Amino acid sequence: MPLVAHTNLPTFERLRQEGEEIIDPERASHQDIREIHIGLLNMMPDAALEATERQFFRLVGACNQIVQFHLHPFTIDGLKRNAKAQAHIDTYYEPFAKIKEDGLDALIISGANVTRASLPEEEFWLPLMEVVSWAKENVTSTLCSCLATHAVIEYCYGIARTRLPAKRWGVFSHNVIDRGHPLVAEINTRFDVPHSRFNEIFQADMEAKGIKVLAASKYAGVHLAVSEDGFRQVFFQGHPEYDDISLLKEYKREVMRFYTGDSNDYPPFPENYFNDTVQSIFSDYQQHVKHAKQHQEDLLPFPEDLVFEHLDNTWRDTAKAVFNNWLGKIYQLTNQDRRLPFMEGVDPKNPLGKIY
């Protein structure tokens, strides 16, 4: 169903060029179709700010509910921005005060980079918790991605994440654990999800606090879980929104950090992502990078053009299905007036009621 380009956010035009259905407000006003308003709290670093918009917007736009989707990107204080990113935010993002005034049907909270030993020490912690607290009382469902999952679970359940021995990085197979939950209805019982993180909240710790785990991996841990009521909070530890080249871009950034001296270790390959041909290309390039760094020589261009055709996206269909289930349930639970998000007779503390 269409995304409504209710602002001049460049992501709308980029998605239109990619073939996504984007309609302008004038056309939307003449359609007798229900509206759903979704906030995107984008906390991602500058280099990934606009890509994150596109990734989540695509997943929302792929929903097959008969509805117009209005997306409202915003951010919070405590996140350092360069001039270009700040200008983008100032021009196209909405203040949180306006978000609260207008109301939302649903909220997506992205991941973020961290600089402190624990999440409550981060400058963005208090502004983020203000949003989380408001959403618990006023938004039908909040979907948290990666770092946001760790922050919200620590705030709401008191579970601090655990540092892993090495970065959890790559594409991993997952199995559905609770096949009766609406969020995993009609999806594959085994599916892939990319992960990229140094920390984890473990399944046993989640379940001990009443969090319902819906999908997990033998090697990558929990990917999909929900709050004890079954729907108000949805937790991703992985990144189903990633494009097929997202991990490639991360790998490139890590290679460049090694060359510039910001990292002492050459990055390993993301697991289960590069095939033999790509690994051979990047193994050769690794030798070049190390030689160039040792002898203070200029680098040859990163050979990404040689590998694009070898990268497979094995997670997008399942990601679309989960988002479709999520937005479909929100469609059922919300009224026309998004400031009154719960259907008459539905307990906001247990919105799934007898459905779950």
CA gap 2, 16 in Å, rounded: 10
- The domain that holds 107 is classified in CATH as 3.40.50.880
Look-up of token digits 């690994």? 279
Active site residue 63: no
Q: What are the φ/ψ torsions at residue 196 (nearest 5 degrees)? A: -155, 90
Is the domain of 143 the same as that of 276? no
Question: What is the per-residue pLDDT across 199-247, written as a single tens digit (0 to 9) for each?
Answer: 999 999 999 999 999 999 999 999 999 999 999 999 999 999 999 999 9
Residue 59 included in any domain = yes
Is the domain of 190 the same as that of 261? no
Question: What is the per-residue pLDDT across 117-164, written as a single tens digit (0 to 9) for each?
Answer: 899 999 999 999 999 999 999 999 999 999 999 999 999 999 999 999
Is the domain of 180 the same as that of 287? no
Is the domain of 21 the same as that of 165? yes
pLDDT at 257 over 70: yes
Is the domain of 171 the same as that of 289? no
Total domains in the chain come to 2
Active site residue 156: no
| pLDDT value, residue 73 | 98
The model's confidence at residue 336, banded by pLDDT at 50, 70 and 90, is: very low
Query: Please, what is the average pLDDT of the chain?
Result: 91
| pLDDT value, residue 105 | 96
Residue 356 included in any domain = no
Residue 265 included in any domain = yes
The model's confidence at residue 348, banded by pLDDT at 50, 70 and 90, is: very low
The model's confidence at residue 343, banded by pLDDT at 50, 70 and 90, is: very low
Is the domain of 288 the same as that of 176? no
Residue 348 included in any domain = no
Is the domain of 189 the same as that of 270? no
* Residue 111 DSSP class: -
Give whole-number Cα distances, 222 to 87, 108, 251, 309, 310, in Å. 37, 19, 23, 30, 28
pLDDT at 114 over 70: yes
Is the domain of 111 the same as that of 251? no
pLDDT at 339 over 50: no
63, 88, 146, 200: which one is catalytic?
Answer: 146
Residue 114 included in any domain = yes
pLDDT at 285 over 90: yes
CA gap 245, 312 in Å, rounded: 9
Residue 193 included in any domain = yes
pLDDT at 293 over 80: yes
pLDDT at 349 over 50: no
pLDDT at 312 over 50: yes
* Residue 271 DSSP class: B
154, 241, 250, 254: which one is catalytic?
Answer: 241
SS (HEC) of 158-227: CCCCEEEEEEEEEEEEEEECCCCCHHHCCCCCEEEEEEEEEEECCHHHHHHCCCEEEEEECCCEEEEEEC
SS (HEC) of 308-351: HHHCCCCCHHHHHHHHHHHHHHHHHHCCCCCCCCCCCCCCCCCC
- Give the residue-averaged pLDDT of 260-287: 97
Is the domain of 75 the same as that of 100? yes
Residue 351 included in any domain = no
195, 239, 250, 254: which one is catalytic?
Answer: 239
Based on the number of CB atoms within 10 Å of its own CB, is 276 exposed (0-12), middle (13-18) or buried (19 or more)? exposed
The model's confidence at residue 112, banded by pLDDT at 50, 70 and 90, is: very high
CA gap 73, 9 in Å, rounded: 9
Is the domain of 73 the same as that of 209? yes
Is the domain of 238 the same as that of 251? no
Residue 349 included in any domain = no
CA gap 123, 127 in Å, rounded: 8
Is the domain of 323 the same as that of 210? yes
pLDDT at 295 over 60: yes
CA gap 204, 271 in Å, rounded: 24
Query: Lowest-confidence range among 27-41, 186-200, 287-301?
Result: 27-41
| pLDDT value, residue 335 | 60
- The whole domain housing 191 covers 3-243+314-342
| pTM given for the model | 0.90
Active site residue 72: no
